[in-house]
Amino acid sequence: MKYLLLATAALTSTLAFAAEPQFDMKRVSEDIRVMSADDFQGRAPATVGETKTVAFLIEKMKAAGLEPGGSIGTDGKRGWTQDVPLRMSDIVGKPSLSLSYGGKSHALNQGKEIAVRAALTGQDSVTLKDAPLLFVGYGIKAPERGWDDFKGQDVKGKILVVLINDPDFEGPEGKFGGKAMTYYGRWTYKYEEAARQGAAGVLIVHETAPASYGWATVASSNPNTMFDIVRDDPKAAHTPFESWIQRDVAVDLFKASGLDFEKLRAEARKDSFQPVPLKATLSADYKVKTEVITSKNVMGRITGTKYPDETVAYTAHWDHIGVGEPDANGDNIFNGALDNASGISTLLELGRAFKAAGPAERSVLFLAVTAEEKGLLGSTYYASNPVYPLGKTVGVINMDGTIGPGPAKDFTISGTAKLGLLDMLIEEGKKVGRSYTPDPRVEAGGFFRSDHFPMAKVGVPAISFGGGIDLVNGGVAAGKAWRDAYIKDKYHQPDDEWSPDWNLDGAKLDMGLLYSLGRRLANGRDWPNWSQDSEFRAARDVSAAERK
Ligand SMILES: [Zn+2]
């Protein structure tokens, strides 16, 4: 009897061992320490930081027993990386910019009245002479929502004046699902749609609440070096002139045309809105320095035993800001320990756990993408140049910042979306007594700011996991205090550094959850999809036949 009991106990613990992955948090911490040390120089793409990071990732993936998961080389063999060619553009000197209205020319100063970014079209100069301005409301064309701000107007050669966010931002709920920002509200969408319409350029009217950030953010980021993936037809994605203007400038412009900005702004919230020509023109003249660099996505893989061409992907960005302006202590290396050496170390540890558990029926991809900080470019490049078929990519689980203050009762994802993948994550959470807390700032469009998004855009079910706020020790108050302090003192600052004092118990708990979701997908036959009313559903359904 006694022996039998012992045998049962031993069996139970073996089963528990087989089912539960063993995460080594000391190793996770050490990987973060190495990648965020000063000699990695803040891991900017196409720097010594990239060389070191890519070598480190390949070494760790190899040691974990993963297979090379990158592009097939000239030798016919699959390597560990995918080349990501990036266009890099800068405005040379002070751009000459002006608006003409009311019979006068009004100079615009970069960073003050206007924030214009370097052209990403590949051209080496921008010259606009008295280009007419056209107010197009929110600048949205969304046939599935019965919305078209352009109403068939010819916008060729014109500069579009556009509002930020979408028509439902100020309520009541209309065709854009209420206060939560749809992709139609993002500035990136405004630029893309303007290019599709064939406009000459864009002036987005900056307003703090609907943009969710102040003018200072716009003014400081736009004059920087701009990056994009190298595109076959860059003019299909960008107009030569992409910019924001201060709200006051817009108000004056409208006044000079005998129009009331607030009134037209209200008008733009209705689907009956018609574009309004302004009695004003824009002139611009400046040179653009543009070159192409090559960065790398790094990929390890475990081939599936039964459905090798079906892929479950974990993603995280390896890059960070690099070297920048020194802080008060003279530190100019943006180490990016949390953002995102932590996500990468989690990706590696998940790879080890999957390897230890033995192959699953479907393939599992561990994809470390580049240039997230330059505008989600490594993931954007992968989404348009997939190494594995997107139609058979079951789901993408992205991780960005995986270290928190300790175990939380809840978890979240970036932004809001309705998809089966999130439902499954919530189910896995329930099994271990954890609950889902939706992103509280839905109007900020968090869904569109992480590396899962370029995958979502091409239809692949994708989410970015986020740690919880309701701590086992200290509850929501303690969780919020920790997060606020991180954003204030460390986020995108040289002080985002590794610490030997981190409490990694929360990260470990989250890792277990991410593992169980991925393992369930990899050993199941599920094809989670977007909800029927999701803007990403149509892109997914195009490839439905591949999943039969
Ligand atoms: Zn990040």
Q: pLDDT tens digits for 447-487?
A: 999 999 999 999 999 999 999 999 999 999 999 999 999 98
3-state helix, strand, coil in the chain (%, to 5): 35, 25, 40
Q: What are the φ and ψ backbone dihedral angles of 545, each rounded to 5 degrees?
A: -60, -30
pLDDT, mean over the chain? 94
List the structure tokens of 373: 């900080």
Expressed in angstroms and rounded, the spacing between residue 231 Cα and the centre of ligand 1 is 24
Beta pairing partners, 203: 161, 243
Q: What are the φ and ψ backbone dihedral angles of 426, each rounded to 5 degrees?
A: -65, -40
Expressed in angstroms and rounded, the spacing between residue 371 Cα and the centre of ligand 1 is 10
Q: Are residues 385 and 421 in the same domain?
A: yes
Q: 472: domain CATH number? A: 3.40.630.10
Q: Which residue segment(s) compose the domain that 63 sits in?
A: 20-86+298-547
Q: Are residues 209 and 304 in the same domain?
A: no
Expressed in angstroms and rounded, the spacing between residue 202 Cα and the centre of ligand 1 is 28
Q: 236: domain CATH number? A: 3.50.30
Closest listed residue to residue 160, CA positions, set 253, 219, 283, 242: 242
Q: Are residues 181 and 281 in the same domain?
A: yes
Expressed in angstroms and rounded, the spacing between residue 374 Cα and the centre of ligand 1 is 11
Q: How many beta carbons lie within 10 A of that of residue 498, not counting itself? A: 21
Residue where one domain finishes, among candidates 291, 312, 338: 291
Confidence of residue 180 (pLDDT cuts 50, 70, 90): confident
Closest listed residue to residue 276, CA positions, set 193, 191, 164, 161: 161
Expressed in angstroms and rounded, the spacing between residue 317 Cα and the centre of ligand 1 is 7
Beta pairing partners, 98: 107, 283
Residue where one domain finishes, among candidates 261, 291, 321: 291
Cα atoms in the 13 Å half-sphere on the side-chain side of 476: 2
Count the domains in the chain: 2
Expressed in angstroms and rounded, the spacing between residue 491 Cα and the centre of ligand 1 is 9
Expressed in angstroms and rounded, the spacing between residue 373 Cα and the centre of ligand 1 is 7
Confidence of residue 445 (pLDDT cuts 50, 70, 90): confident
Expressed in angstroms and rounded, the spacing between residue 102 Cα and the centre of ligand 1 is 46
Beta pairing partners, 79: none
Q: Are residues 104 and 228 in the same domain?
A: yes
Expressed in angstroms and rounded, the spacing between residue 305 Cα and the centre of ligand 1 is 33
Any domain includes 2 = no
Residues whose CB falls within 8 Å of the CB of residue 253, separated by 6 or more in sequence, listed in order: 99, 101, 133, 161, 278, 280
Q: Are residues 165 and 229 in the same domain?
A: yes
At 353, the amino acid letter reads A
Taking the C-alpha atoms of residue 496 and residue 473, their distance in angstroms, rounded to an integer, is 24
Q: Which residue has the tokens 């052209």?
A: 119
Burial (CB count within 10 angstroms: exposed 0-12, middle 13-18, buried 19+), residue 335:
buried
Any domain includes 230 = yes
Any domain includes 5 = no
Out of 107-116, 219-228, 308-317, least confident range: 219-228
Residue where one domain finishes, among candidates 263, 291, 319: 291
Q: Are residues 36 and 125 in the same domain?
A: no
Q: Are residues 284 and 314 in the same domain?
A: no
pLDDT at residue 19, as a whole number: 57
Expressed in angstroms and rounded, the spacing between residue 154 Cα and the centre of ligand 1 is 39
Any domain includes 3 = no
Expressed in angstroms and rounded, the spacing between residue 201 Cα and the centre of ligand 1 is 30
pLDDT at residue 110, as a whole number: 96
